[in-house]
Structure 1
Amino acid sequence: MEKSLRKFDYFIIFTIIFSIKFLLFRYFIYKDLNLIKVLLTELSPFILLITIIEFCLNKNRLWIYSIINITLSGFLFSIVLYSSYFGTLPSYHDLTQLNQVGSVSGSIKLLIRPIHFLFFLDLIIILPLLIWKNKLFTERKTLNKVVLAIIFILSVTSILINLVQAKDEKIIDSSSFAYENGLIQYQIIEFYQGKNKEAAKTVQFTTEDVMALKGSTRISDTLEYFSVAKDRNLILIQIESMQNFLINLEINGVEVTPNINKLLGESIYFSNVYQQIGAGNTSDAEFLVNTSLYPAGKQATSKAYADKQFPSLPRVMKEYDYFTTTFHADYITYWNRQELYPSLGFDKFYDITYFGEEDVIGFGPSDEVLFDKTLEALVEMDENKQKFYAHVLSLTSHTPFEMPEDKVYIDLPEKYKDTLVGNYILSMNYTDKVLGDFIEGLKQEGIWDNSVIAIYGDHSGLHGRLLQEVDNKLMREILGYGYPIVDRFNIPFIIDIPGVTKGTKIDRLGGQIDIMPTLTNLLGISLENHIIFGQDLLNYENNLIGMRYYLSTGSYFDEDVLFLPTTSQRESRTYDLVTRQLTERKEDFNDKYKRMIQIYELSDDYLNSLPSK
């Protein structure tokens, strides 16, 4: 045994180990077991590193190799889990957001499968060798210097050729780019392009140009609902993880969201609206609804454009003498909000320092605390005869949806107990209950009748890959069909104008980017001099909206379908928005795909051209 082991050099052993690990990585991400592709795209940086080690060290190489091996194992393991959750590969940007990992850590644990630990299987062998190396290995001389020099030159040449060829290639889909160029070289090129951005282009386009790209059309010559809520307060409520299928859902005859359902009888309910967040998740939803611009995509917008001053809903409302404020029972530093809120132009923000740390559920004070203390602040504004715009962000219904027993208000059937779907329903029922209490408080304080109350979900709660077999079975029972991607991204958007709205359901396609122009129309606020990428859902149709995260870049929703372009992982797919199922439609979707990419580029150019704060 000892003699046979000595025949192998560390160089060969670890080259084989790294090759196997990258083969595993590409299988998990791409279902690809092409060893030649691994050798050509993935190994060059590591062979270069190994060569340097062989050149520079005569002793303790096994320790160095093992440290690299352990690091690589953890790195690839993490990327596979990240990709399973977010549907895309992380870039170096995501390393700047490690402080946000806690927000999804409970969910990511559900993604781990025993097969993923194959990344660490070799460590069972390598670690004992470290301890007993004198019995199994002897420190050998390094490989022949001439051989090492040749390998070094070939590795450097391979890397440089790849980088030179790909450095200016536009990265539309990160997974496809990494498939063709290698994971490490994708990170290098992403970093290079991020640090060598072109100077901001002079943006010369109008909102009408954007509307033309989308193919949007105005429904009539007169603006419906224009200024019907003039001078009213605006209370915009973002419900954490709320999906549209919860609306009017009953389990054993019990409503999950009775208070929201009650609102529908006196509201405008947009049932065909979809999330559009980027890597910033909840904070990107805040950005979207307050700017009607597309988020950065690969990086949280609050980080990517931290120095910018955004034309925004708070700023335009201040022109109409509104006091603008935001309420979120988390730390202001979370998702870099201490930069985001000044960029958006809010007059004041309330975070955990205002709400305190009582009645903590999950990541912060409960939604009961949030709504109670928000009401106190709104009453004070109202008593001062101050019109206000209040953006209120709930938190309790965040993954992993674990509720204390004293906060559980409905009794679910046994089959829902200890399931992700069951916990999700309980958390949403709790938030609906305290939201109902908040609404009653607004009425008792005389604020309700002089306000516009709008409610929307920030993003999905039940990620498809998080669901276990029992969860998928429950979702089939709830929906009457399998849990498709369309339902995952479908969020509610509800507007109540007491005394004006009568209970209207609108199935017109919309996204979070459309919330701002829809609300300003109701308030009689002009956006004539603003660049926006959304549209007033009450007065325009034939929409085209995109999502820069969770779906491959260029994916889009139009009035009929969700289109997902071809990637390195699978062929293009089309989902019917009515049946929610995959379709076999044969028409050419490439034109709208190209227009969607162009819309993203215009939004990016516009954001880059904005002045600093």
Structure 2
Amino acid sequence: MAKFFKGLYAKLNTTLGFFFLMTALFWLKTYIAYRTKFTLGVESPIQQFILALNPLPTALLLFGIALYFRGKLSYWLMLIIDALQTTWLFANILYYREFSDFLSIGIVKGSGSVDNNLGKSLAGILHFSDLFVYLDVLVLIVLLLTKLIKVDKRPLKKRFAVTMTVFSIALMMMDYGLSVKDRSGLLTRTFDNNYIVKYLGLNEYAAFNAYQTHQQATSRSQASKADMKSVQKYLKNNPAGENFQYFGKEQGKNVFVFHLESFQQFLINYKYKGQEVTPNINAFYKDQNTLSFDNFFHQVAQGKTSDAEMMMENSLYGLPTGSAMISYGTSNTFQAAPAILSQHGYTTAAMHGDVPSFWNRGNTYKSWGYQNFFSKSFYPNADKPSYNVGYGLKDKIFLKDSAKYIQQLPQPFYAKVISVTNHYPYLLGKKDSSFPQTDTGDNTVDGYVVTAHYLDQAFGEFINYLKKVNLYDNSMIVVYGDHYGISNNHRPAIAKLLGKKKVTNYDLAMFQKVPFMIHAPGVQGGVNHTYGGEIDALPTMMDLLGIKTTGNYIMMGQDLLSTQRNQIVPFRDGNFVTPQYTKVGSQVYDTATGKLLDLTASQKKQVTSDQDHVNTVLGLSDKIMTRDLLRFYTPTGFKKVNKSDYNYSVSSTNSRLKQEQKDNPTSVQAKNGGKSTSSDYKTDAPELSKSK
């Protein structure tokens, strides 16, 4: 035995020995991470084998680069490559824990636009066990520095390096062949990054994503007017039509779009320890003049909030990877809600208590035609640490300060208000917390109801202000949840919140419902059970405002109030929900009962048809976005947006608002004799009470 270990130690002191040791350690930690840090849905024995195999080919290929060199350079190159691959693995572990997805080039490129105030989130996401991925790197460095493993200075014959390169490529091809055999169309018809990582590996996913990014840039440069024909043909063949009972009912009314951060539908009427988590939103949901939708789903991917904004204001899907607002918000042509409404006499404004670079809003909003964007610099308390929570001003403070600008907007206006407090990691100080944490035992989840309750209180204060200044009865108020707050990686906690022993894939699909409510004075409200998603919000709002979109504007959604609408709800990963079927991967459930189905021939035919529709609509939307096709088409009566017309600086905005009070004295403040109505806004925010 001693002789064996002595021989093994001698081999480790050779270049090839060190190479194989490093490869083995990297393969082992990657496989462990796959099994413990990600939810890849490995089912069959062949998938188990592929998952075990897929870290190996690129590890051999990349570490093999160092074999073309000699001595210390070879060893340190291997360590550098190991450290870089490990950092990629580590970053994806953290990202996946919060977003149930993998990092993409789009997200990495846009990190400067979304990394504000992420320190608390990172601290909450990080688990001590995540750091184990760096253990082998540290151990190998120590072994080399202490010379327990000595650097082999002898040159390695080139044929060993070449053989390793050829072998790694052959192994990669074998992995791909097995993967395609198990899942046909892996790289051509998938919308889910989990499949790429499960079958090919994290490094291969990065390479494929880089290829996709390059293809997007290429396809945009090669696009032409002819590319719009397939889009227009689809829209012509799939009209929903307006609902004449509601069309134009809110014409000329102000429009508020209230963005409920990370707010899921299950919170509506949800009680914990006998208390309603969101009593104000519940009352709004049940109001006799509120149209509420209880089968409305978020449809976001990696772009999260930015994807939701893209759908809500453009009726175009976000990207399968990255953020469309970051990748295309500055350069693309859009026909968004702010531009449409401003050309119908509306003043348009967006309000967000953080910097304009967040999700590239400062540039994207110009492309969308927003006349005003009130961001962090407009809020005097924005730089006070105690007034902020993670992603901007606390909601109560932000909404009260926003009233100053709302009252100056000439009517009718379109105003989007973006809340942020109910955002991961769901932290609030004791002074702001008036609701108990849940007891699921999951630290990520248990604070969720606390911040949701705070958001609800802020929403109630905002509605009270609108009532006091006569905006409530003269406005169409749209309230929606942008995306999930609790990711599917928290299954035990989700089960406990829902009162179940465990949750199925069907339960998780239903868990993606978010609120969508439209309070419209003079409209008979109620709960509408139609199936829809964020892609359908814009045509619904436009029809209520009497602006005809069918046959003119390029919108991938349909009016939720139309009796002719298609009730297929596509998810960005290619899954979908209809009133009949819920498809998650290869599983299909009965939507009404949640029962897993063994499909009959007729059911298979319908599911296949629905899937074809989903693939078509997602593909067409991606084509519009990645090729910037709207530059080739202008709706009748629409004037293209000129981004240079907009200036969001504080001085320019204040000067413009002041002049508009004279030129168009229709604002709340103008109708109040030029006097501010800020005193009508009442809040119990402890920070503001203390400052008085």
Q: Which residue of 1 aligns with 2:635?
A: none
Give the superposition deviation at 1:534.
Answer: 1.1
Please identify, of 184-193 and 299-308, the stretch whose mean Cα deviation from structure 2 is larger: 184-193
Tell me, in whole angstroms, the C-alpha distance in 2 between the residues paired with 1:437 and 1:342: 30
* Letter aligned with residue 240 of structure 1: E
C-alpha contact 2:124 2:444 (8 A) present in aligned 1: no
- For residue 257 of structure 2, give the secondary structure of its aligned residue in structure 1: strand
Q: Which residue of 1 aligns with 2:582?
A: 562
C-alpha contact 2:240 2:558 (8 A) present in aligned 1: no
1:427 to 428, 433, 451: 451
1:92 to 105, 115, 123: 105
Q: Which residue of 2 aligns with 1:254?
A: 275
Give the superposition deviation at 1:33.
Answer: 9.1
Tell me, in whole angstroms, the C-alpha distance in 1 between the residues paired with 2:46 and 2:94: 19
Q: Which residue of 1 aligns with 2:531?
A: 509
1:20-419 residue pairs with structure 2 within 5 A?
20-28=28-36, 29=38, 30=40, 31=42, 37=50, 41-99=54-112, 100=114, 116=130, 118-123=132-137, 125-133=139-147, 135-155=148-168, 169=188, 172-196=191-215, 197-198=218-219, 199-200=222-223, 202-205=227-230, 209-210=234-235, 212=237, 223-263=244-284, 264-266=286-288, 267-306=290-329, 307-356=331-380, 357=382, 358=384, 359-381=387-409, 384=410, 386-410=411-435, 412=436, 415=439, 419=443
TM-score scaled to structure 2, two decimals? Answer: 0.77
Q: Deviations over 1:110-151 (max 9, x none)?
A: 666676555344346323302311x44253414333333333
Q: Which residue of 1 aligns with 2:561?
A: 538
Tell me, in whole angstroms, the C-alpha distance in 1 between the residues paired with 2:308 and 2:596: 27
Q: Which residue of 2 aligns with 1:590?
A: 608
Give the superposition deviation at 1:464.
Answer: 2.8
Tell me, in whole angstroms, the C-alpha distance in 1 between the residues paired with 2:171 and 2:132: 29
Tell me, in whole angstroms, the C-alpha distance in 1 between the residues paired with 2:438 and 2:201: 47
Give the superposition deviation at 1:103.
Answer: 7.1
C-alpha contact 1:207 1:532 (8 A) present in aligned 2: no
Give the superposition deviation at 1:451.
Answer: 0.8
Q: Deviations over 1:240-285 (max 9, x none)?
A: 0111111122334322212122222231111110001122111111
Please identify, of 586-595 and 231-240, the stretch whose mean Cα deviation from structure 2 is larger: 586-595
Q: Deviations over 1:434-488 (max 9, x none)?
A: 1111111111112222111110101111223246x5x3464033x7984821342
* Letter aligned with residue 9 of structure 2: L
* Letter aligned with residue 146 of structure 1: R
C-alpha contact 2:281 2:456 (8 A) present in aligned 1: yes
Tell me, in whole angstroms, the C-alpha distance in 1 between the residues paired with 2:52 and 2:503: 40
Give the superposition deviation at 1:41.
Answer: 4.8
Q: Which runs of 5+ in 2 are unaligned?
A: 633-642, 644-692
- For residue 236 of structure 1, give the secondary structure of its aligned residue in structure 2: strand
C-alpha contact 2:315 2:535 (8 A) present in aligned 1: yes
1:453 to 453, 461, 477: 477
**Is the alpha carbon distance of 1:531 and 1:554 closer, same or farther for their aligned partners in structure 2, counting shifts above 3 Å?**
same
- Across the two proteins, how many residue pairs are aligned to each other? 590
How large is the RMSD of aligned CA atoms in angstroms? 3.4
Tell me, in whole angstroms, the C-alpha distance in 2 between the residues paired with 1:564 and 1:211: 29
Give the superposition deviation at 1:397.
Answer: 0.8
* Letter aligned with residue 315 of structure 1: A
Q: Which residue of 1 aligns with 2:681?
A: none
Tell me, in whole angstroms, the C-alpha distance in 1 between the residues paired with 2:618 and 2:458: 38
Matched, 1:442 2:466: yes
**Is the alpha carbon distance of 1:211 and 1:369 closer, same or farther for their aligned partners in structure 2, counting shifts above 3 Å?**
farther
C-alpha contact 1:6 1:137 (8 A) present in aligned 2: no
Q: What is the percent sequence identity of the aligned residues?
A: 25
Tell me, in whole angstroms, the C-alpha distance in 1 between the residues paired with 2:457 and 2:501: 26
**Is the alpha carbon distance of 1:579 and 1:404 closer, same or farther for their aligned partners in structure 2, counting shifts above 3 Å?**
farther
- For residue 408 of structure 2, give the secondary structure of its aligned residue in structure 1: helix
Q: Deviations over 1:5-53 (max 9, x none)?
A: 1223222222322332343344455448989747975444443433332
TM-score scaled to structure 1, two decimals? Answer: 0.86
Q: Which residue of 1 aligns with 2:512?
A: 489
- For residue 59 of structure 1, give the secondary structure of its aligned residue in structure 2: helix
- For residue 491 of structure 1, give the secondary structure of its aligned residue in structure 2: coil
Tell me, in whole angstroms, the C-alpha distance in 2 between the residues paired with 1:34 and 1:323: 55
**Is the alpha carbon distance of 1:582 and 1:112 closer, same or farther for their aligned partners in structure 2, counting shifts above 3 Å?**
farther
Tell me, in whole angstroms, the C-alpha distance in 2 between the residues paired with 1:373 and 1:308: 32
Tell me, in whole angstroms, the C-alpha distance in 1 between the residues paired with 2:65 and 2:439: 58
Give the superposition deviation at 1:200.
Answer: 2.1
- For residue 484 of structure 2, give the secondary structure of its aligned residue in structure 1: coil
Give the superposition deviation at 1:190.
Answer: 2.8
Tell me, in whole angstroms, the C-alpha distance in 2 between the residues paired with 1:128 and 1:41: 28
- For residue 223 of structure 1, give the secondary structure of its aligned residue in structure 2: coil
* Letter aligned with residue 575 of structure 2: S
Tell me, in whole angstroms, the C-alpha distance in 2 between the residues paired with 1:194 and 1:363: 28
C-alpha contact 1:111 1:466 (8 A) present in aligned 2: no
Q: Which residue of 1 aligns with 2:18?
A: 10
1:610 to 627, 630, 646: 630
- For residue 505 of structure 1, give the secondary structure of its aligned residue in structure 2: strand
Tell me, in whole angstroms, the C-alpha distance in 2 between the residues paired with 1:368 and 1:496: 21
Q: Deviations over 1:488-543 (max 9, x none)?
A: 21111111123x13441111111011111111111111214101111111123441
* Letter aligned with residue 194 of structure 2: S
C-alpha contact 1:163 1:185 (8 A) present in aligned 2: no
Please identify, of 445-454 and 163-172, the stretch whose mean Cα deviation from structure 2 is larger: 163-172
